[in-house]
Amino acid sequence: MSYTDNRPPSPARQETANLLPKDISLSVNYLPSKFSSGILSPGATRRKHGVDISVPKRGGGREAFKASEPRMPDDGDEDYDGVSGDWFGGKEGGRTRPRMRWNKFKWSLFVANACLSVYALTGLISCLLTWFDVFEHADIVRVGNRTELILSTIAATAATITSVFGWAGILLNNRSFLAYYTFFLWICFGLLVTPGYLTYKQRTFNLEGKINAQWSRNLDAAARLRIQNRLHCCGYYSPFVEATVSQTCYARSILPGCKASYLHFERRVLEIWYTIVFSLVPPHIFVILAALLCSNHVTYRFGKGMMPKAYRLSSKSMAVIMDDYA
């Protein structure tokens, strides 16, 4: 039975409402009808002796999402956003570890970050081997494509560090780490496509003219000598044109000029370079989408399992309520 109170509010209550700060909540916690029908409503079960009151189940985690099992979060839940769990979501302080249960969002993040780790580490190792002159013609790349090599090394390093943030967030169920992880993925995307764009532009638009200008203006004698030694050539067109004298390169040397072999090498290397870079764009976009869609659902708990501050009852709120109903 309900009734409607049509009495106008008292002047004291209106004055209290007008002077009430905005950060004070007057809401009172209540049990929804689906929880409280067996507790608050008198019925046959309440009059029977020896029948326990049907108390709603408590506790979060995976079990709270079964059909017809709505629950409220309880202390000591195994799914507490990485605050009280171990590396794989277990509960601290217990004698037995609960069975590991990863939701589909966490598995998606795991697969995406594994892909990121694979191509980031592969790219970083390739760049380091090039810097250490392990490959046969790595010294030519260090001389002729130094800018692109530096940018590729920075991109691979940033992607590797970002993948470490991803593993920390996934294994610890830490959404703060995953938020930084998602942000850094966009930075890695920009760093990834930059060397691809530079190598594509250099190869597509007048590569021969750029090679001519590089040999005559940008390369010093030591750099030309390194290219001559790797390509087994002498001079640019011939030993008489912009050549660096060495034991194999001199005026009467029979070695050919470096232009043809150097131009062919640059065409091949630049094509391989931007092909690899642009082929990594789709998987990196997949990693970004997985991070955007799944980072906030790495566990089944919504948010941090805490009531928002605006809806909490404080001492000031209780003082206003008691003063109003006194």
**pTM reported for the whole predicted model:** 0.68
Tens of pLDDT, residue by residue over 147-183, are: 999 999 999 999 999 999 999 999 988 888 999 999 9
Cα separation values, 150 from 146, 157, 173, 267, Å: 6, 11, 34, 19
- Kindly state the percentage of the chain with pLDDT values over 90: 51
Question: How far from chain centre, in Å, is Cα 44?
Answer: 56
More confident residue, 92 or 109: 109
Cα separation values, 180 from 118, 154, 163, 165, 188, Å: 20, 18, 11, 8, 12
CB 278 within 8 A of CB 256: no
pLDDT score recorded for residue 317: 76
Cα 174 to Cα 298: distance, rounded to the nearest angstrom: 8
| Alpha helices for the chain (secondary structure H) | 11-19, 33-40, 44-47, 104-131, 138-144, 146-172, 175-204, 207-213, 221-231, 259-279, 281-294, 315-325
Cα 110 to Cα 168: distance, rounded to the nearest angstrom: 11
What size, in residues, is the chain?
326
Tens of pLDDT, residue by residue over 283-292, are: 999 999 999 9
Tens of pLDDT, residue by residue over 133-154, are: 999 899 999 999 999 999 999 9
